[in-house]
Amino acid sequence: GIQVEQSPPDLILQEGANSTLRCNFSDSVNNLQWFHQNPWGQLINLFYIPSGTKQNGRLSATTVATERYSLLYISSSQTTDSGVYFCAVDGSARQLTFGSGTQLTVLP
């Protein structure tokens, strides 16, 4: 099946810093989504982005489908941004396969 790799696995930032999270995938995809899992376990949909670029406030994402990667940008990070960020892709199997996640800690 499709492989999804995320980097870095862990990231520690000071409040106000910017960061870039990367997601590589091994095959063509119909869907790519970014999620934020908060400390209570809730998965929050950030972006549905099989290709192109989207922005939502301090967050933006870019997917280059032909090169099989996606980037999530977080600007002016806040402590509430802490948690695990997951990339998930939907290939030929028509269901999401998740990467291993990036654990983000934003320090005050």
- Rule CB under 8 A: say whether 85 interacts with another protein: no
- Both structure tokens of 77: 């990070």
Whichever of 13 and 29 has its CB closer to another protein, that residue is 29
Smallest distance from another protein to CB 49, Å: 10
Smallest distance from another protein to CB 11, Å: 16
Number of residues that bind another protein (CB under 8 A): 20
| Distance separating alpha carbons of residues 74 and 3, to the nearest angstrom | 24
**Per-residue x/- track, 87-106, another protein (CB under 8 A):** -x-x----xxxxxxx-----
10 Å CB burial of residue 72 (0-12, 13-18, 19+) is buried
Smallest distance from another protein to CB 95, Å: 6
C-beta of residue 96 within 8 angstroms of C-beta of residue 31: yes
- Rule CB under 8 A: say whether 43 interacts with another protein: yes
Q: Is beta strand 31-37 parallel, antiparallel or unpaired with respect to 43-48?
A: antiparallel
C-beta of residue 50 within 8 angstroms of C-beta of residue 30: yes
Which residues contribute to the site for another protein (CB under 8 A)? 30-31, 33, 35, 41-43, 45, 48, 50, 86, 88, 90, 95-101
